[in-house]
Chains A and B, each alone.
Chain A
Amino acid sequence: MTTIQKLVKEIKDLKPIPAIVNQIVAAIDDPNCSAEDIANIIKFDPSVTTNLLKTCNSAYFGLANPVDSVKDAVSILGIDQIIELVLLKSGAKALSKKQKGYGLHEGIMWKHAVSSALIAKKICKKVNLGNENRIFTAALLKDIGKTVLDQFVSGSFEKIINLVHKDGYSFREAEKKIIGIDHGELGAMIATEWNFSTKMINIIRHHHLNDESQRKNNDIAIVYLADCICMMMGIGIGEDGLAYRFHTDVISHLNITHEDIALIIADFSQDMQKVEKLINVA
């Protein structure tokens, strides 16, 4: 079997992300879909509803009166917060495992995913662009390709890191050169297998913006910048370090200044303890 055939088999064998994620992502992308429609999707999944209500009633939110229905939860915490919680709960399983090849201890990739997603939302608010919930989800799941590519990275680690340290390759370029595919492309294959929307697949595929033709796509640019900010802050970095490419033109196109970035960093460093708590309850 070739590497690609092996990877395809791995993807087929991957335990899919819960179906509700797909339904919610589709609803977010549909302009005719209301908050009520999304609440209804959640309501008809008993285990997700039970989990959601448990989280809403945890000390983290400190609600005066416990909520006992999705409708109440939405009216008190807002639909965006509820979507966030359902996605966080559903993504945790797929992204929490240790990634040996990338040198990520258990939970580190998940911390990076959640942080990227929250930072991406902050950027959306700042630039007033993009669909916040779609971008949140894409930032959360952008590295899903790493979960499958990990063992291949592990097997060829010396070759990959040599290209990075000695020949000026980015880690993604080195993955592509040595394994024949990078974690963005592989992530897009997984997202396709899971029937994600075309927009979502596209963000996952291009989240390092190596393809110049994608650099004016605001959704991707926001997810990309959130990833860069996480790297700068050292959140969820593994053996790949900060060895990815920085595209100043993308940042300028978003109309973000270095001061805006500094403020987002300062802001998020304050939120980090809160994030740890959120990760534990969600």
Chain B
Amino acid sequence: MKQIVGVADMKISNNLGDSILTYSLGSCIGLVIYDPVAKIGGLLHYILPESKIDKTKARNNPFMFADTGIPKLFETAYQFDAKKNRMEISVFGGAQILGQQGFFNIGQQNYMALKKIFLENQLIINKENIGGEISRTIRLEIKTGDIFIKTSGTKEVKV
């Protein structure tokens, strides 16, 4: 079954028939984690780097921000018996409009926030497709752990 992850949303599955997908990442980040032994996969689609701009929104929906969504994604996967040392981690999105720089470059800010959290938690990115002026649609197959990406202006390919 197709599990669709919306904007500021997250899905986790250990159902072998499932694929988890998210449409059209712009500056947002799609973070995919997969434990190939337990066959558990998750996808988080967050839109902003830091929850400090609106704590109430972060409480209502932690998946809106990197610093609240990323811990929640991993915690939920661990509850499903996924193990940190087996986790395959892939990161997509973080695009920008042509010439979008500095603080206005929310795509880059989103990616930097993830890097910071990963550094603090000793997590390593296995695969990534980041930046540029393209949008990305991402699909994870739970059975195989295969990830497919469709970017604007090109056809879908396996990552």
Residues on A close to B: CB < 8 A? Answer: 103, 161, 164-165, 168, 170, 228, 231-235, 237-248, 251, 258-259, 261-263, 265-267, 269-270, 272
Contacts and interface: CB of A to CB of B under 8 A. Distances in A.
Nearest to B50: A262
Contacts of B99: 245-248
Contacts of A165: 153
B54 A234 contact: no
Nearest to A241: B152
Interface in B96-151: 96-104, 106-107, 132-135, 151
The 7 closest A-B pairs by CB, nearest first: A241-B152, A234-B26, A258-B103, A234-B24, A246-B100, A232-B27, A246-B97
B96 A246 contact: yes
A228 B98 CA distance: 11
Contacts of A164: 133, 153
Contacts of B54: 263, 266
Nearest to B101: A248
Interface residues of B, number: 36
B131 to A, nearest CB: 10
A237 B23 CA distance: 10
B153 A161 contact: yes
15 contacts: A164-B153, A234-B7, A237-B135, A237-B152, A239-B153, A241-B95, A241-B152, A242-B95, A242-B96, A242-B133, A242-B152, A248-B101, A258-B106, A265-B48, A272-B6
B106 A269 contact: no
B106 A261 contact: yes
Contacts of A265: 47-48, 106
A270 B61 contact: yes
Interface of B: 6-8, 23-28, 47-48, 53-54, 57, 60-61, 64, 95-104, 106-107, 132-135, 151-153
Contacts of A266: 47-48, 53-54, 57, 64
Nearest to B98: A245
A261 B47 contact: no
B134 A170 contact: no
Given A241-B152, A245-B97, A265-B48, A231 B104 contact: no
A235 to B, nearest CB: 8
B6 to A, nearest CB: 7
Contact of A262 (B95, B106, B107): B106
A269 B95 CA distance: 18
A237 B54 CA distance: 27
A261 B97 CA distance: 14
Contacts of B23: 234
A239 B24 CA distance: 10
B26 A248 contact: no
A232 B53 contact: no
A164 B96 CA distance: 14
A161 B96 CA distance: 17
Nearest to B9: A269
B98 A246 contact: yes
B25 to A, nearest CB: 5
Given A244-B97, A245-B99, 11 more contacts: A168-B98, A170-B98, A232-B26, A232-B27, A232-B28, A239-B153, A241-B95, A246-B96, A246-B98, A258-B103, A263-B54
Given A242-B97, A242-B133, A246-B100, A262 B53 contact: yes
A269 to B, nearest CB: 5
A245 B97 CA distance: 6
A266 to B, nearest CB: 5
A237 B53 contact: no
B90 to A, nearest CB: 18
A133 to B, nearest CB: 27
Given A170-B98, A242-B97, A246-B97, A258 B104 contact: yes
